[in-house]
Chains A and B, each alone.
Chain A
Amino acid sequence: MSTTDTAASGIGPVEGAGDFSAYSVDNPAPFIEAPRKRTKKTPKSTRGNFEMYGWLFMRLSGIVLVVLVLGHLLIQLVLDGGVSKIGFAFVAGRWASPWWQAWDLAMLWLAMLHGSNGLRTVINDYAERAGTRLWLKGLLYTATVFTILLGTLVIFTFDPNIR
């Protein structure tokens, strides 16, 4: 496109464009700083990489949860008569083994942290007022800490001879 077409395309003639330049050594073009360049005013520590680690955690915990959760569903709902077999005696039999205690403990912690971090994202997306976000996240973190502690306590202090 030659410079004469510019008016036809809706863009006015560009000052200083073409053969003649308005800028010279004595009259240099204004310097435009690169966007997001670090300057003296940029804080040394920005916000850190929390969100990146959260993103990574969702994926790593997701892969482990596939095994833990789908295995859990298979044992509890499909094998040996499905849900019909479940009762105190069944729980006592399973938690007699450290293997299943560790399985359930890992599943509890990973699923709660994964789900809680997921809900944090959902709250950030939909709660537009800062106050609403604060309250919802406060409620979420309280419920998460409570559930993780309660579940952990139950797994570690389970007593098959409670009666």
Chain B
Amino acid sequence: MPAGTLYRGREGMWSWVAHRVTGVLIFFFLFVHVLDTALVRVSPEQYDNVVATYKSPIVALLEYGLVAAILFHALNGLRVIAVDFWSKGPRYQKQMLWSVVGIWVVLMFGALYPVLGHAFREVFGS
């Protein structure tokens, strides 16, 4: 990468980058997710087989990442809507971004046990 030519925006630019990256990521996951769910039309065994891989510890980590992406995109999406429709939105966009990050951290902490608990028990014994 050429040195010193990267445009370093502030909170607004980086939240936009993260919103775009997470949006594209979620879309690709959704495509695969509809395909795997369609297996319920093939046979219960095939469906349960694929879902069994979703319960493995490594995929549980990926699931946690997916939750992270969706939560950020959803919360920041609400912030974008507030910036566009609330008269004071643009003025408070920075404060709203840090609120988004704060709520995201709390929710991600809360999701630790429900999403990763079973993987933790499997790897480190019950």
Binding site for B on A (CB under 8 A): 59, 62-63, 65-66, 69-70, 73, 77-78, 81-84, 86-89, 91, 108, 111-112, 115-116, 118-119, 122, 143, 147, 150-151, 153-154, 157-159, 162-163
| A151-B20 contact given A73-B67, A82-B114, A118-B27, CB 8 Å threshold | no
- Residues of chain A with a CB closer than 8 A to B117's CB: 82
Query: What 1/0 mask marks residues of chain B from 24 to 53 whose CB sits below 8 Å from any chain A CB?
Result: 101100110011011011011001100100
- Residues of chain B with a CB closer than 8 A to A153's CB: 41
Number of interface residues of B (CB under 8 A): 37
* A87 to B44 alpha-carbon distance, docked (Å): 8
Give the distance to chain B from A122, nearest Cβ to Cβ, in Å. Answer: 6
* A108 to B114 alpha-carbon distance, docked (Å): 24
* A23 to B79 alpha-carbon distance, docked (Å): 55
- Identify 20 residue pairs between A and B in the complex whose beta-carbon atoms are under 8 Å apart, listed by A's number: A59-B80, A62-B74, A63-B78, A66-B77, A77-B63, A82-B115, A83-B54, A83-B118, A115-B26, A115-B27, A118-B23, A119-B27, A122-B24, A147-B35, A151-B34, A153-B41, A154-B34, A154-B41, A162-B41, A162-B43
